[in-house]
Amino acid sequence: DPDRLSQVVQNLITNALKYSPEDTAVLVETRGEADAVVLSVHNQGAPIPPERLKALFQPLQRGTEEVDTAGRSVGLGLYIVQSIVDAHGGHIGVQSTAEVGTTFTVRLSRAIESVEPR
């Protein structure tokens, strides 16, 4: 579903921008592998504490206590992203360190399931 996959990309980029310092870049990388397509979104914001990483994809969770300036963040974006990725048979992971920043990586299989005509 192209619309849902577009939502994944938009949510990850929005999140990266929200938690990045103003004058830093958000890097978006896509690459093809033999059996998958991989999307990575990286920011140089404050690291996500290790104890928060485990629950990050649960509803109502955020990587930090900080909320965006308009107070709109309720912590559903990454939960929605994971739900969409799971529905497409993919995987999402996150790495976060003080030295490097935070990178979310989505891996989707290139295999397309065939649907029998009715």
Q: What is the largest CA-CA distance in the chain?
A: 55
User: Distances in Å between the alpha carbon of 9 and those of 51, 114, 115?
Assistant: 25, 25, 26
pLDDT value for 69 = 46
67 contacts 118 by C-beta, under 8 angstroms: no
Span 33-84, pLDDT tens digits: 999 999 999 999 888 888 888 878 776 655 455 444 445 555 678 899 999 9
* Euclidean distance between CA atoms 78 and 93, whole angstroms: 11
Cα–Cα nearest to 43, from 18, 63, 71: 18
pLDDT band at 113 (very low <50, low <70, confident <90, very high): low
Length of the chain: 118
pLDDT, mean over the chain:
83
Q: pTM score, two decimals?
A: 0.80
**Complete domains list, the chain, with CATH:** 2-109 (3.30.565.10)
